Amino acid sequence: MAFTATATTQNANEFWISTNTATADLGTITDPYDGSTEAKFDSRMANLPPNSTMHIMAGTYQTYGDEVYYLKSGQKILGSGIDVTIFQLVSGTASGTVGTAVLDSQAACNNIEISDLTCDCNYTSGSDTYHGIALDGTQNAIRRVKVVHQAYFGGNTESFGIVLENYHLPDNTFKNCEDGIYLGAITYGSI
């Protein structure tokens, strides 16, 4: 008689997160991190190491975006599909001088990938500026992403759905995205 033992294998720097609270909170596919509240989700995103992958399972994740964390070089944020995985700014999030982005990197962060999700800026009323995604660096990729409910109010900024700063630098790509795409000095509609 032969028995086969199976175990959940996790690659180093590869994690899963869900909105499920009934989990051992291990970051594995079978026991993903608990991202059911803004505090839990933002904490996991802020502590994600460079060159790691975060699989975001189906659900709506409340976040304060770049008011709390920035993406780091080499990170991959992989959702479960447009309108299936939703990053949503907390209602009434205050915007900084140039606005608040749902997902953002600091200058010269390279090899970031964001795919298969919706960024909901969650604007309802007020005088804040909200952006979807803003990446600055090279070899960054944004694929199958949708941005909704962004807003612009005065000041020295604009509101962008998706921004790839330094787009002219090597290998920044975007494909099958919905909303405004900003490439240096040009803004496009759906691309």
3-state class (DSSP) for residue 182: strand
From 141, 139, 134, 143, select the one nearest 116 (Cα to Cα).
143
What's phi and psi for 148, nearest 5 deg? Answer: -135, 155
176: left (phi over 0), alpha (psi -120 to 50) or beta: left
13-35 burial: b if 16+ Cβ within 10 Å, else e = ebbbbbbbeebeeebbeebbbbb
3-state class (DSSP) for residue 136: strand
3-state class (DSSP) for residue 106: coil
Counting as low any pLDDT under 50, the low residues of the chain are 1, 3-7, 181-191
Give CA–CA dist 56/41, Å, rounded: 10
pLDDT for residue 185: 33
Q: Which helix (H) or strand (E) holds 62?
A: strand 59-63
Query: What is 14-188's CATH number?
Result: 2.160.20.10
pLDDT for residue 168: 53
| Contact of 31 with 24, CB cutoff 8 Å | yes
99-132 burial: b if 16+ Cβ within 10 Å, else e = bbbbbbbeeebbbbbbbbbbbbbbbeeeebbbbb
